Structure 1
Amino acid sequence: MHSSSTQIERSLRDAALRVTAPRKAVLAAVHDHPHADTETLIAATRAQLSSVSHQAVYDVLRVLTDVGLVRRFQPAGSVARYEARVGDNHHHVVCRLCGAVGDVDCAVGESPCLTAADDAGFRIDEAEVVYWGLCPACQSPPGR
């Protein structure tokens, strides 16, 4: 999914952020590379804006996450990943062999999707579920 420069700028302004070249490049990279890790996003950002530093990308990712334009998630035993699909409470499926990640809509009902047997007094507004298994490519034996 490629978002236009105009859409990226509008998203930044709507979030009350100043439109800067690093913010535009990082947000575009997240849109273009769903579920990417930081290193992938740094490379994609540098392809558009060669002068951007690692630290600048980290800082922009933090700001974009804080204002809700980007979602950060970290499956157990994996590096943090980022996506531009925000505003819903979807979950992820992760391949145990190759690490491929996909989106999975809520299992049942409306957000937070799952009802805790005992909420311990918390007002729960989000449930994070990670489904683990083998992706279609890893299910096929080698040589087939």
Structure 2
Amino acid sequence: MTDWQTRLRESGHRLTPQRELVLAAVESLGHATPDEVYAEVRTHSDAINLSTVYRTLELLDELGLIRHAHLTDRAPTYHSAAGHEHSHLVCRGCGTTISVGRAAMEGALGALAAEHGFEPDYGHLSVFGRCADCAAAAT
């Protein structure tokens, strides 16, 4: 049994094909909205609807198997919790998203967080601004 299956069972939830499909879709897509996850899942099965995808994403997020971030003003974007924890720099001009490792974000925010006795959730953090190309085009 894999780690995600163990975590699901230990939390009192059943292993279902739909949950496996949603997790696999998030892992294969990288960063994806619920609609993108739904479209990917539908390429493998017609036996799942959008509300099931939303509920499954919420459950997998609660269990720490996936993470969500707000990379737009629309639906959250989900990505696998496996691998490195990261934050996001999001360009408001072109929409480019840059993943930044936790160590770099801790270096940038560590003193400010310590000053205020605050523990940031780096895996949920998104910073909006302009990428170098969009900033150069604006001048």
TM-fit CA distance, 1:108: 5.4
Specify the SS of the correspondent of 2:88.
strand
Q: TM-score, normalised by structure 2?
A: 0.74
Larger RCO (alpha carbons 8 Å, 6+ apart): 2
Find the aligned partners of 2:130 and 2:69 in 1 and give their Cα distance: 18
Closer, same or farther: CA 87–125 of 1 in aligned 2, 3 Å: farther
Find the aligned partners of 2:67 and 2:80 in 1 and give their Cα distance: 6
Specify the SS of the correspondent of 2:89.
strand
Q: Give the counterpart letter for 1:57 in structure 2.
A: V
Q: Is the 8 A contact 1:30 1:41 kept in 2?
A: yes
Identity of matched residues, %? 27
Match of 1:118 in 2: 116
Q: Give the counterpart letter for 1:133 in structure 2.
A: R
Q: How many residues are paired up? A: 128
Query: Higher helix proportion, which one?
Result: 2
TM-fit CA distance, 1:67: 0.3
TM-fit CA distance, 1:126: 2.6
Q: List structure 1 segments (4+ residues) > 6 angstroms apart after TM superposition.
A: 138-141
Q: How does 1:1-144 map to 2 (within 5 A)?
A: 10-17=2-9, 18-75=14-71, 77-86=73-82, 88-106=84-102, 107=104, 109=106, 114-115=110-111, 116=113, 117-119=115-117, 124=119, 126-127=121-122, 128-130=125-127, 132-134=129-131
Q: TM-score, normalised by structure 1?
A: 0.71
The unaligned stretches of length 5 or more in structure 2 are none
